[in-house]
Structure 1
Amino acid sequence: MSDLTRLTAADLASALAAGDVSSAEATRAHLDRIAAVDGDVHAFLHVNAHAMDAATDIDRRRAAGEELGPLAGVPLAIKDVLVTTDMPSTSGSRILEGYMSPFDATVVARSRAAGLVPLGKTNMDEFAMGSSTEHSAYGPTRNPWDLDRIPGGSGGGSAAAVAAFEAPLALGSDTGGSIRQPAHVTGTVGVKPTYGGVSRYGAIALASSLDQVGPVTRTVLDAGLLHDVIGGHDHRDSTSLTDAWPSFAQAARDGARGDVLKGLRVGVISELDDSGFQPGVSASFRAALAMLEAQGAEIVEISAPHFEYGVAAYYLILPAEASSNLAKFDSVRFGMRSASGGTVEDVMAATRDAGFGDEVKRRIILGTYALSAGYYDAYYGSAQKVRTLIQRDFDAAFEKVDVIATPSAPTTAFRLGEQLGDPLQMYLNDVTTIPANLAGVPGISIPSGLAEEDGLPVGIQFLAPVREDARLYRVGAALETLLVDSWGAPLLDRAPALAASGSNEGNR
């Protein structure tokens, strides 16, 4: 493996700015890494044929003395839910196979403008529906820590690409935990920004009131650097906040000094007891809390009585919004067409039957039922009331604490196929992450260690009030510094080495 692929995005950016390495060299190193291992990992659905051209252009502009952004020349992986003009955008579905967008998603456009080099599009559960990336129409992604295990979902491709050193940075989307849960099981960092803090324009919609785009990285500082690039108001997104945001990279740098922990009030939810978590996950969480307490933080037990209903409410709200958002994929306006005879209804039915996978069909049916006459108030309306109660739980909690801490997921990465026959069990993987999406608050997952029973990574999640994303970067970076110092090296340095002889046959 080239040393360039081992560098954090911040370190690589510094080397690029100093002229110690060119963007072409860095991009080539990552493309070579993808060619070597992605046949095993299958993090990418499509590798960008123009990546080297983009890198060479950055080198030319730098040599000409042009003032470039802090991440100029650094390679970037892009979740396939984000549309791009130069690569297919399929959202992991057959119904959009080969679709080329006429425009870039705002976060992609901002990344290109900042000089980041798109490496390719990463695999995902179809239309972001899943917690394992096994629901991709193009085959599952595998966890670089153990190729027989899942990398989380729906953004397992982005997390696996970063964990396998195929990309230093990636873009993901988080509807109920699809950035943070993959971060938990792959030993990476994942951030769900405040709802409206990052534009959703050009993100293929799953549930519009829940979806949020965010960074996937190996360090908190790298996440802050990427968040600074993609964040901010976008007039094309009607839900975009007009706030002037602070530098999240600077917040991470401030946090790394460690003094932010003294007097910090960290809330622990009494309803989330250890019985619902794998022992190694609970042990790592408690150890991280003890480390915070040793640095002067105060651990405060809080109550969030309605969190236990979050999963049930989420799996009514999300399918309802998904059934509406996915109606456009009808063989007429968007998507493949699998039949040419009969009525429009016949063609539409045949196309959607062939183009959508089982999980997508399941959620469309559930959502359509929840919105139907006679059932709207009983199901969708009731779920929205629970959502309001969860938001009130957060409001009450943040009157007592500065951040809330939870395990990022209940277990380590499970084996491929282990939960495919049990949708309910799959849904419960997001039990700690879903409330943040229902309330719109920001969340971050950072690696907290390895579970003793299986040696696989686990993460700790911090949640903060709406618009207080910078607080998460300060706290996350402070704990990250303590943990890495205690380990002696970043957690990913302990990941089993992937075979260097992998093929690239899985790429499309």
Structure 2
Amino acid sequence: MSSEIFFQDATRLAELIRKREISPVEVMQAHLDRIEAIAPKVNAIVTVADDAMKAAQAAEAAVLAGQTLGPLHGVPFTAKDSIDTAGVPTQRGSPIFKGRVPDADAVSVARLKKAGGILLAKTNLPEFSYWIESDNLLSGRSNNPWDLDRTPGGSSGGESAAIAAGMSPLGLGTDLAISVRGPAAQTGIVSLKATHGRVPMTGIWPRAPRRFWHVGPMARSIRDLALAFSQLAGPDGQDAFASSTVQFDAGVVRSHDRPLRVGWMVGPGFGPVDPEVAATVQSAAEALRSVGCIVEPVSIPALERDFALDVFNRLHVMEMKPAFAEATAGHAQDELYKMARTMLALPDTSMKDYIDAEQAAERLRDGYAEYFTRYDALITHVLPIPAHKHGVDTFTINGETVDARYLQGATVPLNVTGLPGISMRFGTSKDALPINVQIVGSWQAESTILHIASLLESVSPVRDQHPKL
């Protein structure tokens, strides 16, 4: 019965709790038992919330008393350890912040709690949320539950591993260039990076460069993403980027009144792509055609003119490096892991290069704007390869050797432009590893891409597959 609980999605758990077919205490205990059983292997959990069971008992009492229940009532959730949680340590993957306990929840955490969710635990990340592997001096390295010798990604790698392994049904991650979508792809779960500003970043560090940072849900099903996003979206009066008043209701993710037009591509403009990954993208496109979408291969010339990863690198170093310098001032070198040291050693971007990159970012936005006059969505890969071994710095992909930054080639354009994207599994590699695809929509078009993702999920060849630990 325990395994039937911890591999259920959040929507189903909430339904069972409302119907009194299962209690919040049983749900919490199943996840605590799962954490105890496999946490040492995966190392995804940094801290278990001390009051998780007490909160579950209170949630059970509310059910028995017939109180009005929120849409996530009694459902556990986890949060990346860069997201503030009141009374629960938020240590940002660094000895510099060891033992740091916030007084208040981040807005995203507070909103999931308001919906009835219960904070279960904090999850691992790279130092300062900055790299594509989740490893640091404070809490060590997270492993991929599909293959412990491989990474679950970064920077929300602990979150992706926890959900994939059944330690959590729902979580919050953050995304600067890849960090909710890439880890989801490496562990075969789903995630949503919404339009920039749809979900406030209040209570999350680092904030710079805030115009590229996102916080978003990670889960086991597309309906969970829709449900969580419906609770997370909206202004908070503190994050000025979170100004959109566009309403989102998870109950209205449904068919449009005409066939949806969807383009698919794996390049050019993203860097090299493994043939297995490219084939999965094409298979997803063909599957959408089979359920009534108009689908065709496309290109976006703006991505060929301006390589988004290069644009991002020239912009974010100029803005993020001072935040790292401020956080590490007065601390010994042995308190810094390799990514903080790398960031601090990078040369400053010249003002000319910075301005050129700003103009390139505008051209990328214009290019996508033109594309979305003709199409409702875009299907691409998330990562150019499946989950890789720990500590690899260079990759040979389809005959081309590139460094690890190139794994962000298809994800970072959405951070530069602010477009929404969903990462979801649709294939399996020859090594039995998940392969995800990315569904991209126009600004504020989360309802459209969630609908397309739900169509794809309904015909997926890999539904309800879980790692065996």
Q: TM-score, normalising length from structure 1?
A: 0.86
How far apart are residue 61 of structure 1 and its match?
2.0
1:364 corresponds, among 344, 358, 366, to 344
Output the amino acid matched with 1:204: W
CA-to-aligned-CA distance 1:90-134 (integer Å, 9 cap, x gap): 111121111111211001111222221111110011112111213
Equivalent residue for 2:447, pick from 470, 473, 481: 470
Q: 2:415 aligns with which of 437, 440, 457?
A: 437
Question: Which range moves more in the overlay, 77-86 or 419-428?
Answer: 419-428
Question: Cα gap change, 1:105/1:317 in structure 2, threshold over 3 Å: closer, same or farther?
Answer: same
User: Which residue matches 2:170?
Assistant: 169
CA–CA separation in structure 1 for the residues paired with 2:414 and 2:251: 24
Aligned equivalent of 1:281: 277
1:85-484 maps to which residues of 2 (within 5 A)?
A: 85-135=86-136, 137-205=138-206, 206-247=208-249, 249-252=250-253, 254=254, 263-269=259-265, 271-272=267-268, 276-308=272-304, 309-330=307-328, 348-349=329-330, 351=331, 353-366=333-346, 369-370=348-349, 375-377=350-352, 379-419=353-393, 425-451=403-429, 453-483=430-460
Distance (Å, rounded) in 1 between the aligned partners of 2:132 and 2:313: 13
Matched-pair contact (CA < 8 Å) for 2:324–2:340 = no
CA–CA distance in structure 2, aligned partners of residues 81 and 155 of structure 1 = 9
Matched position secondary structure for 1:290: helix
- AA at the equivalent of 2:216: G
SS at match of 1:237: coil
How many percent of aligned residue pairs carry the same amino acid? Answer: 29
RMSD across aligned positions (CA): 2.1
Residue 220 of structure 1 deviates from its aligned partner by 0.2
Residues 490-505 of structure 1 mapped to structure 2, 5 A cutoff: 490-492=464-466, 495=467, 497-498=468-469
* 1:443 shift after superposition: 0.4
Q: Which amino acid aligns with 1:412?
A: P
Alpha-carbon deviations, 1:352-395, whole Å to 9, x = none? 533332212222332x612xxxx222x22222121111111111
Q: Secondary structure at the match of 2:93?
A: coil
Report how far residue 136 of structure 1 moved.
6.1
> 1:137, CA displacement in angstroms?
4.2
Q: Is the 8 A contact 2:281 2:381 kept in 1?
A: yes
Tell me, what secondary structure is at the counterpart of 1:445? strand
Distance in 2 (CA, whole Å) between partners of 1:468 and 1:442 is: 7
Structure 1 counterpart SS, 2:459: helix
Higher relative contact order (CA 8 A, sep 6+): 1
Cα 1:136/1:104, change in 2 over 3 Å: same
Question: Which SS does the other structure have where 1:323 is aligned?
Answer: helix
For 1:444-497, what per-residue CA distance to the aligned partner results, in whole angstroms no more than 9, with x for missing partners?
Answer: 01111102x2111011101111111111110101110111xx45x4233xx3x1
Within 2, Cα distance between the matches of 1:175 and 1:306? 21
Q: Distance in 1 between matches of 2:17 and 2:455?
A: 26
Deviations 1:129-152 (A, max 9, x none): 111213564211111111110101
Change (3 A) 1:354 1:251: farther
User: Which AA in structure 2 matches 1:472?
Assistant: I
Deviates more, 1:60-69 or 1:459-468: 60-69
- Could you tell me which amino acid in structure 2 is paired with residue 75 of structure 1? P
Paired with 2:332 and 2:320, the residues of 1 have a C-alpha distance of 14
In 1, the alpha carbon distance for the partners of 2:78 and 2:383 equals: 24
User: Is the contact between residue 266 and residue 278 of structure 2 (CA under 8 Å) also seen in structure 1?
Assistant: no
- Tell whether the 8 Å contact from 1:129 to 1:135 is kept in structure 2 after alignment: no
**Secondary structure in structure 2 of the residue aligned to 1:56:** helix
Structure 1 residues 134 and 405, CA, compared in 2 at 3 Å: closer, same or farther?
A: same
Residue of structure 2 in register with 1:27 after alignment: 28
The answer to whether the Cα contact below 8 Å between 1:5 and 1:26 also exists between their aligned partners in 2 is: yes
Residues 37-78 of structure 1 deviation map (CA, whole Å, 9 limit, x = unaligned): 010001111111110011111112222222121111000010
Output the amino acid matched with 2:205: I
Per the alignment, do residues 466 and 35 of structure 1 end up closer, same or farther by CA in structure 2, a change over 3 Å counting?
A: same
**Aligned counterpart, 1:46:** 47
In 2, the alpha carbon distance for the partners of 1:361 and 1:174 equals 21
Displacement after TM superposition at 1:419 (Å): 2.4
SS at match of 1:76: strand
Give the Cα separation in 2 of the matches to 1:192 and 1:267: 19
Q: What is the CA–CA distance in structure 2 between the aligned matches of 1:356 and 1:316, rounded to whole Å?
A: 23
Q: Deviation at 1:273?
A: 8.2
CA deviations on 1:421-445 (whole Å, 9 max, x unpaired) are 9996221111100000100110001
Q: 1:5 to 1:326 in 2, by over 3 A?
A: same
Report Cα offsets for 1:264-286 as digits up to 9, x if no partner: 21122473389821221112111
SS of alignment partner, residue 88 of structure 1: coil
The code of the aligned residue for 2:354 comes to: Y
Which structure has greater helix proportion?
1
Q: Tell me the residue number matched to 1:18.
A: 19
Higher mean C-alpha deviation, range 379-388 or range 123-132: 379-388
Deviation at 1:263, TM superposition (A): 2.2
Q: Which runs of 5+ in 1 are unaligned?
A: 331-347, 499-508
Answer whether contact 1:106 1:200 (CA < 8 A) is retained: yes
| Aligned residue pairs, count | 461
Write the distance in 2 (CA, Å) between the matches of 1:325 and 1:34. 34
* Preserved CA contact (<8 Å) 1:174 1:213: yes
Write the distance in 2 (CA, Å) between the matches of 1:128 and 1:98.
Answer: 17
Post-superposition Cα deviations, 1:402-432, rounded to whole Å, max 9, x if no partner, equal 1011011100000112228999622111110
Structure 1 residues 49 and 271: CA distance shift in structure 2, 3 A: same
Contact 2:317 2:348 survives alignment (8 Å) = no
Q: Is the 8 A contact 1:193 1:214 kept in 2?
A: yes
Q: Given that residues 262 and 297 in structure 1 are in contact (C-alpha distance below 8 angstroms), is that contact kept between their aligned partners in structure 2?
A: no
For residues 276 and 212 of structure 1, the distance between their equivalents in structure 2, rounded to whole angstroms, comes to 26
Q: Is the 8 A contact 2:264 2:282 kept in 1?
A: no
What is the SS of the residue equivalent to 2:78? strand
Change (3 A) 1:239 1:462: same
Rate the CA distance shift 1:136–1:190 in 2: closer, same or farther, 3 A. Answer: farther
What letter corresponds to residue 232 of structure 1 in structure 2? G
Structure 1 CA distance for aligned equivalents of residues 185 and 258 of structure 2: 26
